[in-house]
């Protein structure tokens, strides 16, 4: 979940490293650090808190940097990366978890190594130092990596060979950025997108030697050279800038109309459609927000294709589903790096399943594990809280399912006009942001919230609750309004705020309003988010559309609501505590 960056080239590594690692701060923000080599000396600077530039006044053409999301050892300057060897000639940064670090640490202590931190990572610097006694840097690095059990993306530099960065990967993303004035390494393309849009991704058990003029990738076990294809990152680098918005989250919500237009223009590969039409089982897997997108798709699959697809938390796939060669997995992941989702994908492959992924980050691990990938094209999402990428996932899934429905002879285009007006409807919600802000300021005084709905908008309730709790740190729960009376209603009193997501017409509107009255009559506070005003409660009105499309129109409304509540309480909106943008650990 941490971020790694590195640079070797003609220019001053200090400012480049700062630019790169700053762009990865959303991957972890407990602490940070740099290691650079200048005049045959290693300089390390690290600190707790948000990333600041290197203060050292030396010139360097090589360096590595890290932003940390603590796993082993508390948040402290000592535990921040890079970690160094006893002789201070080697520096290492690492993402992931080294499971056997205690044994390795004890072995190294017995050999006389002195440790300065509580981290698992530090063993790597000492192991390289140990192997350097009888090997060159590359071989010492390779041998050190082969001792590790667990997951890692690692980069190392060595004072006596100041022309190269060595890198290795297992289960954690690691890329090389091919520049014109040097090369980059990073855990995420965002790090170097300002400098280059050409990238190479390492796969598990590969290591690389990156120099100013090139790179080589090899198999960790056999040392055989591996040819890789280049990935082009067609993202606008400015998307990683706030452009006048106070927070990335607000900027990214405001990008939803563009994201919807892009998603509506995606044409699906015939192979994807045929695969889905011929699969006897379809499972949608993901985590958090991406899982919620999959849950909506489950409803759309059953309604428009009469196909029983199942959406499941990726970690539960093998607990509850039969996965075999007749199965197609639709893996949904903004980052394409979520550990839990990747593990399920790998396991499903072993069982003979085919995998289609819906991913936002080009070249991410999920894209390389999939038989087919639908790239979301939503551009970089910096705020930890997923907003525009969720809306894009919804539109892509809806379009895909309607295309299948058409081929099955069920869909004749009756929603097409409404779908083409989704962009305007979202713009309308965004224009009404002051009304939403007012509600956020006037209500939302409690520490507990219930988001309630039914039918296709039930996953909207889950997602709205996730948004609120993620960035406000208040407890929120999404549930079926029908299920309220089966237990949760006992929580209702004047301190419980309930938010109902209600369609503008139809059976579910009547049913949900009836549940809303059950709350009102018990003294609960109620807010309705709906296209048609509900009497006796506070309303946020959104443009009317078919109930099945409402998840896409509700999303910006409850996302803005969560944003303004978090703003009111002065939260770190783009970087909520304890979180990171992609969860690359188990
Ligand atoms: C969303 O706001 C969260 N930050 C989180 O639930 C996220 O959706 C989840 O970790 C999955 O991430 P992914 O889409 O990158 O796989």
In the reported structure, the alpha carbon of residue 289 is separated from the centroid of ligand 1 by a whole-number distance in angstroms of 5
Q: To 10 degrees, what angle do helices 422-431 and 256-264 make?
A: 180
* Angle value at C-alpha 225, between 178 and 209, nearest 5 degrees: 45
Task: Look up the CATH number of domain 431-586.
Answer: 3.40.50.10490
- Provide the β-strand partners of residue 527: 499, 538
- The percentage of the chain sitting over the pLDDT mark of 90, rounded to a whole number, equals 83
- Residues 6/91, Cβ–Cβ less than 8 Å: no
Q: How far apart are CA 579 and CA 521, in angstroms?
A: 38
- Which superfamily is assigned to 245-413 in CATH? Glucose-6-phosphate isomerase like protein; domain 1 (3.40.50.10490)
Give the per-residue pLDDT at 239: 65
Whether 470 lines ligand 1, by a CB cut-off of 6 Å, is yes
Give the per-residue pLDDT at 576: 87
pLDDT tens for 529-575 read 999 999 999 999 999 999 999 999 999 999 999 999 999 999 999 98
CA gyration radius, the chain: 25
CATH 3.40.50.10490: which residues of the chain?
A: 245-413, 431-586
Q: How far apart are CA 219 and CA 120, in angstroms?
A: 24
Question: Which ranges of 83-229 does DSSP label H, i.e. alpha helix?
Answer: 101-110, 122-131, 137-146
Mean pLDDT of the chain: 94
In the reported structure, the alpha carbon of residue 305 is separated from the centroid of ligand 1 by a whole-number distance in angstroms of 27
* Angle value at C-alpha 546, between 540 and 547, nearest 5 degrees: 70
The verdict on whether 2 is a catalytic residue reads: yes
Give the residue from 146, 138, 141 showing the smallest Cα distance to 221.
146
Give the residue from 22, 78, 29 showing the smallest Cα distance to 53.
22
Whether 386 lines ligand 1, by a CB cut-off of 6 Å, is yes
CA dihedral sign, ordered 96, 287, 311, 336: negative
Cα→Cα distances 555→142, 252, 373, 550, Å: 47, 12, 24, 8
Phi-psi region of 205 (alpha: psi -120 to 50; beta: other; left: phi over 0): left
pLDDT at 283 over 90: yes
Q: To 10 degrees, what angle do helices 288-300 and 388-407 make?
A: 20
C-beta neighbour count of 450 within 10 angstroms: 25
Ligand 1 atom index nearest CA of 335: 15
Q: If you search the block for the tokens 């004047």, which residue do you land on?
A: 494
Please tell me the residue having the least CA distance from ligand 1 atom 16.
333
pLDDT tens for 28-87 read 678 899 999 999 999 999 999 888 999 988 999 999 999 987 777 788 888 899 999 999
Average pLDDT (442-452) is 91
Query: How many residues are listed for the chain in this entry?
Result: 586
Give the per-residue pLDDT at 257: 97
Cα→Cα distances 504→413, 490, 507, 520, 532, Å: 21, 28, 10, 20, 5
Whether 376 lines ligand 1, by a CB cut-off of 6 Å, is no
Q: What H or E segment, with its residue span, contains residue 543? A: none
Rounded to a whole number, what is the distance in angstroms from the first to the last CA of the chain? 10
Enumerate residues 6+ apart whose C-beta is below 8 A from 360. 333, 334, 335, 336, 375, 376, 377, 378, 381, 389, 392
Question: Which ranges of 111-222 does DSSP label H, i.e. alpha helix?
Answer: 122-131, 137-146
CATH 3.60.20.10: which residues of the chain?
A: 3-240
Give the residue from 339, 261, 402 showing the smallest Cα distance to 97.
339
In the reported structure, the alpha carbon of residue 290 is separated from the centroid of ligand 1 by a whole-number distance in angstroms of 6
Whether 334 lines ligand 1, by a CB cut-off of 6 Å, is yes
Give the per-residue pLDDT at 101: 94
Q: How far apart are CA 284 and CA 294, in angstroms?
A: 5
pLDDT tens for 364-378 read 999 999 999 999 999
C-beta neighbour count of 309 within 10 angstroms: 21
pLDDT tens for 387-441 read 999 999 999 999 999 999 999 999 999 999 999 999 999 999 999 999 999 999 9
pLDDT at 258 over 70: yes
pLDDT at 586 over 80: no
Q: How far apart are CA 290 and CA 274, in angstroms?
A: 24
CATH architecture of 3-240: 4-Layer Sandwich (3.60)
pLDDT at 520 over 70: yes
C-beta neighbour count of 474 within 10 angstroms: 18
pLDDT at 234 over 90: no
Q: How far apart are CA 330 and CA 341, in angstroms?
A: 11
pLDDT tens for 180-202 read 999 999 998 889 999 999 999 99
Output the DSSP codes for 306-323: ----EEEEGGGHHHH---
Confidence label for 444 from pLDDT (cuts 50, 70 and 90)? confident
Q: Which of 28, 289, 397 to mutate to test the pocket of ligand 1 (most atoms within 8 A of CB)?
A: 289
pLDDT tens for 117-145 read 999 999 999 999 999 999 999 999 999 99
Q: Which of 286, 583, 584, 585 to mutate to test the pocket of ligand 1 (most atoms within 8 A of CB)?
A: 583
The verdict on whether 305 is a catalytic residue reads: no
- Residues 346/311, Cβ–Cβ less than 8 Å: no
Whether 385 lines ligand 1, by a CB cut-off of 6 Å, is yes
């Amino acid at each position: 979940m941490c971020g790694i960056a590195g640079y070797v080239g003609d220019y001053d590594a200090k400012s480049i490293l700062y630019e790169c690692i700053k762009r990865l701060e959303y991957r972890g923000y407990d602490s940070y650090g740099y290691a650079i080599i200048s005049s045959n000396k290693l300089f390390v600077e690290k600190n707790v808190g948000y990333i600041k530039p290197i203060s050292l006044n030396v010139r360097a053409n090589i360096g590595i940097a890290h932003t940390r999301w603590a796993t082993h050892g508390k948040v402290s300057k000592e535990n921040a990366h890079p970690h160094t060897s006893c002789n201070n000639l080697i520096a290492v940064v690492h993402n992931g978890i080294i499971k056997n670090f205690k044994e390795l640490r004890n072995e190294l202590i017995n050999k006389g190594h002195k440790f300065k931190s509580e981290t698992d990572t530090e063993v790597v610097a000492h192991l390289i130092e140990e192997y350097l006694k009888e090997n060159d840097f590359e071989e010492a690095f390779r041998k050190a990596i082969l001792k590790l059990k667990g997951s890692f993306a690692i980069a190392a530099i060595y004072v006596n060979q100041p022309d190269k960065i060595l890198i290795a990967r297992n289960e954690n993303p690691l890329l090389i950025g091919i520049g014109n004035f040097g090369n980059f390494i990073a855990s995420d393309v965002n790090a170097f997108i300002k400098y280059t849009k050409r990238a190479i991704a390492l796969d598990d058990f590969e290591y690389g030697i990156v120099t100013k003029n090139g790179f080589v990738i090899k198999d960790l076990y056999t040392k055989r050279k591996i040819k890789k294809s280049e990935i082009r990152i067609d993202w606008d680098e400015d998307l990683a800038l706030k452009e006048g918005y106070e927070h990335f989250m607000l900027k990214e919500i405001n990008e939803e109309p563009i994201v919807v237009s892009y998603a509506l223009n995606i044409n699906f590969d015939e192979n994807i459609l045929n695969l889905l039409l011929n699969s006897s089982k379809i499972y949608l897997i993901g985590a958090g927000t991406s899982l919620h997108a999959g849950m909506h798709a489950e409803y759309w699959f059953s309604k428009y294709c009469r196909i029983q697809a199942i959406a499941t938390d990726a970690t539960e796939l093998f607990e509850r589903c039969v996965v075999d060669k007749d199965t197609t997995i639709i893996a949904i992941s903004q980052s394409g790096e979520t550990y839990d989702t990747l593990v399920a994908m790998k396991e499903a492959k072993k069982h003979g399943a085919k995998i289609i992924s819906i991913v936002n980050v080009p070249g991410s691990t999920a894209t390389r594990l999939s038989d087919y990938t639908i790239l979301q094209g939503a551009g970089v999402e910096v705020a930890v809280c997923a907003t525009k990428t969720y809306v894009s996932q919804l539109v892509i899934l809806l379009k895909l399912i309607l295309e299948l429905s058409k081929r099955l002879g069920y869909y004749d285009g009756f929603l097409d006009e409404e779908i083409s007006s989704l962009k305007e409807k979202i713009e309308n919600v965004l224009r009404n942001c002051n009304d939403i802000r007012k509600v956020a300021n006037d209500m939302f005084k409690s520490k507990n919230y219930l988001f309630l709905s039914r039918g296709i908008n039930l996953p909207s309730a889950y997602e709205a609750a996730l948004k609120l709790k993620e960035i406000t740190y208040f407890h929120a729960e999404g549930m079926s309004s029908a299920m309220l009376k089966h237990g949760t209603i006992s929580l209702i009193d004047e301190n419980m705020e309930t938010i109902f997501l209600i369609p503008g017409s139809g059976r579910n509107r009547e049913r949900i309003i009836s549940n809303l009255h059950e709350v009102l009559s018990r003294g609960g506070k109620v807010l309705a988010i709906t296209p048609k005003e509900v009497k006796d409660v506070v309303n946020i009105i959104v443009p009317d559309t078919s109930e099945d499309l409402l998840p896409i129109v509700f999303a910006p409304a409850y996302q803005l609501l969560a944003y303004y509540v978090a703003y009111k309480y002065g939260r770190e909106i783009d970087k909520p505590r304890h979180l990171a943008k992609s969860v690359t650990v188990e």
